[in-house]
Amino acid sequence: MAVSEFSLIKRFFTRPAKNKQTTLSIGDDCALLSVPSAYELAITTDTMVENVHFFPDVNPEDLGHKLLAVNLSDLASMGAKPIAVTLALTLPEVNEQWLQEFSTGLFALADKYQLDLVGGDTTSGPLTLSIQAMGLVKSGQALKRCSAKVGDLIYVTGTLGDAGLGLKVKQGYQMHDSESVLAQFNKPLPKVNEGLQLLNIANACVDISDGLAADLGHILDMSAVGALLNYEQLPVSKQLRHYIEQTQDWEMPLRAGEDYELCFTVPPEKAFELDIQCTCIGVIDKQQGLRLNKQEQIVDFKTLGFDHFKEI
């Protein structure tokens, strides 16, 4: 790495460690993290590529936030507590103002969870940003996709489809009151605390990055079960309700991605223990596949053309 890149890392990305698990941070060939006995290290990576995952006119502060948020959302869905991240940056040029804003957005969210940026890599090329996030979860307690049980109730946090509507606004859809849906698209809040609260309550959990039908589909496949969803119970904002009335695009809350809410299943006898903002939207049953109860009619998702196996 060239000297200028080293000073760039020092200037924009090096700060004193805050997390007690960080025993060695930026500066050596590797960072060192201690993992307390009886805990497992949960690890995830997500990459964002310009023109694929974000628009060239994106606000760099929002981008720093979102890159970290999408990674923390994966930790949240496992019920892991974030401790540290590494950052791989591929930059077409060294733009100090861009780096300043990007790191401000990233650290503002990192500070919420006392997590450290402990290392990374910096290269030159088309703008590509990658974070690897690490978290702790008590051994054997992580919320996996494979353990939903017949009879479990299905829940989601927050509302569905707002980020998708924010994307439509970016693409030219005109509406009043677009601030909150744009915020959901640009600066999603990972449901880290919610994930931690679901430990010992939820049987299975996933975060909604590709859309409710697709992501719940992963739980169903991996748990070898099916589900019946109640369309009228899906939590939607007044903006999304208005959009659906205007466009008849009623599949938005099922299809739209990037909400980064959690979808999880809970045995009915534990439902009273839930103490987070969430909505019951259906039930796990043994008939495989996903079905939708809409206006008292039951339709199979396959006949709606849903296919959750995406190319990438």
Rounded least distance, CB 55 to ligand ADP, Å = 22
Q: With binding defined as CB under 6 A, does residue 57 bind ligand ADP?
A: no
Evaluate whether 6 touches 120 at the Cβ level (below 8 Å): no
Among 111, 121, 177, 179, binds ligand ADP (CB under 6 A): 121
User: Contact letters (x/-) for ligand ADP, 226-265, by CB under 6 A?
Assistant: ----------------------------------------
| Beta-carbon count within 10 A of 49 CB | 13
Residue 293 is encoded by which pair of tokens? 């109860």
Among 47, 59, 104, 122, binds ligand ADP (CB under 6 A): 122
Q: With binding defined as CB under 6 A, does residue 96 bind ligand ADP?
A: no
Q: How far apart are CA 69 and CA 75, in angstroms?
A: 10
Q: Which is nearer to ligand ADP, 121 or 300 (CB)?
A: 121
Q: With binding defined as CB under 6 A, does residue 89 bind ligand ADP?
A: yes
Q: With binding defined as CB under 6 A, does residue 99 bind ligand ADP?
A: no
Alpha helices in 79-177 (DSSP H): 96-112, 162-170
Q: Please count the residues of this chain forming the interface with ligand ADP, following the rule CB under 6 A.
A: 14
DSSP 188: P
Q: With binding defined as CB under 6 A, does residue 48 bind ligand ADP?
A: no
User: Contact letters (x/-) for ligand ADP, 69-88, by CB under 6 A?
Assistant: ------------------x-
Beta strands in 208-295 (DSSP E): 226-230, 262-266, 278-285, 289-294
Interface with Mg ion by CB under 5 A: which residues? 121
Q: With binding defined as CB under 6 A, does residue 33 bind ligand ADP?
A: no
Q: With binding defined as CB under 6 A, does residue 120 bind ligand ADP?
A: yes
Evaluate whether 186 touches 64 at the Cβ level (below 8 Å): no
Q: How far apart are CA 87 and CA 89, in angstroms?
A: 6
Residue 89 is encoded by which pair of tokens? 């940056």
DSSP 193: H
Q: Which is nearer to Mg ion, 86 or 184 (CB)?
A: 86
Q: How far apart are CA 87 and CA 109, in angstroms?
A: 14
- What is the crossing angle of helices 238-247 and 162-170, to 10°? 60
Q: Which does 102 bind (CB under 5 to 8 A by kind): ligand ADP, Mg ion, none?
A: none
User: Contact letters (x/-) for ligand ADP, 9-28, by CB under 6 A?
Assistant: x---x------------xxx
Q: Specify the stretch interacting with ligand ADP by CB under 6 A; choose among 69-77, 112-120, 208-216, 264-272.
A: 112-120
- Give me the sign of the Cα torsion angle 243, 247, 248, 252: negative
Strands 39-49 and 278-285: unpaired
- Judged by the rule CB under 6 A, the positions of this chain that interact with ligand ADP are 1, 9, 13, 26-29, 87, 89, 117, 119-122
